[in-house]
Amino acid sequence: MRRSSTIILSLAATFSVSCTQPPATSSPRPQWAVAIHGGAGVLDPAKYGDRAPDYADGLRRALNVAVTSLKSGEASINVVEQVVATLEDDPLFNAGRGAVLNWDGEVEMDASIMSGGDHSCGAVAGVRTVKNPIRLARLVMDRSRHVLFAGAGAEAFADQMAMPRMEPSYFHTQRRHESWLRYREKHESPDQHGTVGCVALDRQGRLAAATSTGGLTGKQPGRVGDTPIIGAGTWADDETCAVSCTGTGEEFIRHGVAQRISDLMANRGASLNEAARHVIENILRPGDGGIIAVDRSGAIAMVYSTGGMFRGAATSDGRFEVAIWDEPENPRQAP
Amino acid sequence: MRRSSTIILSLAATFSVSCTQPPATSSPRPQWAVAIHGGAGVLDPAKYGDRAPDYADGLRRALNVAVTSLKSGEASINVVEQVVATLEDDPLFNAGRGAVLNWDGEVEMDASIMSGGDHSCGAVAGVRTVKNPIRLARLVMDRSRHVLFAGAGAEAFADQMAMPRMEPSYFHTQRRHESWLRYREKHESPDQHGTVGCVALDRQGRLAAATSTGGLTGKQPGRVGDTPIIGAGTWADDETCAVSCTGTGEEFIRHGVAQRISDLMANRGASLNEAARHVIENILRPGDGGIIAVDRSGAIAMVYSTGGMFRGAATSDGRFEVAIWDEPENPRQAP
Nearest to B45, CA basis, from B310, B244, B247: B310
Contacting residues of A for B121, CB less than 8 Å apart: 253-254
**CA of A169 vs chain B CAs: smallest distance (Å):** 22
Element (H, E) at B259: helix B257-268
3-class secondary-structure state, position A124: strand
Residue A15 confidence (pLDDT) above 90 = no
pLDDT band at A330 (very low <50, low <70, confident <90, very high): very low
Give the whole-angstrom CA distance, residue B303 versus residue B40.
Answer: 10
Contacting residues of A for B217, CB less than 8 Å apart: none
Kind of pairing between the strands at A320-323 and A308-315? antiparallel
Handedness of CA A204, B268, B7, B310 (dihedral sign): positive
- Residues B70/B200, Cβ–Cβ less than 8 Å: yes
State the helix-helix crossing angle for A76-89 and A133-143, rounded to 10 degrees: 150
CB contact under 8 A, B150 and A150: yes
Residue B158 confidence (pLDDT) above 80 = yes
Count other C-beta atoms under 10 Å from residue B70's C-beta.
26
Residue B247 confidence (pLDDT) above 80 = yes
Mean pLDDT, chain B, whole residue set? 89
Please tell me the predicted confidence (pLDDT) of residue B18. 32
Mean pLDDT, chain A, whole residue set? 89
DSSP E strand boundaries for A253-295? 289-295
How many independent structural domains does chain A possess?
Answer: 1
**CA of A95 vs chain B CAs: smallest distance (Å):** 19
Minimal Cβ distance to B1: which of A148, A238, A249: A238
- Residues A127/A109, Cβ–Cβ less than 8 Å: yes
Minimal Cβ distance to A153: which of B222, B237, B256: B222
Q: Terminus-to-terminus CA distance in chain A, angstroms?
A: 48
pLDDT band at B243 (very low <50, low <70, confident <90, very high): very high
Q: Is residue A332 part of a domain?
A: no
Kindly state the percentage of chain B with pLDDT values over 70: 88
**Global pTM value:** 0.91
Nearest to B294, CA basis, from B202, B228, B227, B231: B202
Please tell me the predicted confidence (pLDDT) of residue B278. 98
CB contact under 8 A, B153 and A266: no
Minimal Cβ distance to B126: which of A151, A231, A255: A151
pLDDT band at B327 (very low <50, low <70, confident <90, very high): low
Give the whole-angstrom CA distance, residue B185 versus residue B182.
Answer: 5
CB contact under 8 A, B1 and A237: yes
**CA of B59 vs chain A CAs: smallest distance (Å):** 29
Contacting residues of B for A150, CB less than 8 Å apart: 125-126, 150-151, 222, 224
Q: Is residue A335 part of a domain?
A: no
Please tell me the predicted confidence (pLDDT) of residue A42. 87
CB contact under 8 A, B151 and A150: yes
Contacting residues of A for B221, CB less than 8 Å apart: 152-153, 156
- State which residue of chain A sits closest to B268, comparing Cα positions: A267
**CA of A61 vs chain B CAs: smallest distance (Å):** 31
CATH value at residue B117: 3.60.20.30
Q: Is residue A17 part of a domain?
A: no
pLDDT band at B3 (very low <50, low <70, confident <90, very high): very low
- Residues B116/B245, Cβ–Cβ less than 8 Å: no
Give the whole-angstrom CA distance, residue A116 versus residue B76.
Answer: 36
Active-site residue A195, yes or no? yes
- Alpha-carbon Rg for chain A in angstroms: 19
The domain of B141 spans: 30-325
Q: Is residue B12 part of a domain?
A: no
Q: Is residue A23 part of a domain?
A: no
CA atoms within 13 A on the CB side of B309: 26
Lowest-confidence segment of A6-15, A217-226, B29-38, B286-295 by average pLDDT: A6-15
Catalytic residue among A86, A129, A195, A240: A195
ipTM for the assembly: 0.90
Q: Is residue B252 part of a domain?
A: yes
Please tell me the predicted confidence (pLDDT) of residue A186. 83
Select from A9, A146, A206, A265 the residue whose CB has the most chain B CBs within 10 Å, as the one to mutate to test that interface.
A146
Q: Which residues fall within 8 angstroms of residue B210, CB to CB, at 6 or more apart?
A: B80, B81, B83, B84, B111, B112, B113, B114, B134, B137, B197, B198, B199, B234, B244
Query: Of residues A279 and B24, which shows the higher confidence score?
Result: A279
Q: Is residue B316 part of a domain?
A: yes
3-class secondary-structure state, position B197: strand
Contacting residues of B for A249, CB less than 8 Å apart: 147
pLDDT band at B192 (very low <50, low <70, confident <90, very high): low
Residues of B tagged active-site: 195
- State which residue of chain A sits closest to B257, comparing Cα positions: A231
Q: What is the full DSSP assignment across B58-88?
A: HHHHHHHHHHHHHHTT--HHHHHHHHHHHHH
- Residues A63/A312, Cβ–Cβ less than 8 Å: yes
| Amino acid symbol at B290 | G
Give the whole-angstrom CA distance, residue A211 versus residue A243.
Answer: 9
Contacting residues of B for A8, CB less than 8 Å apart: 266-267
Minimal Cβ distance to A149: which of B117, B147, B222: B222
Q: Is residue B234 part of a domain?
A: yes
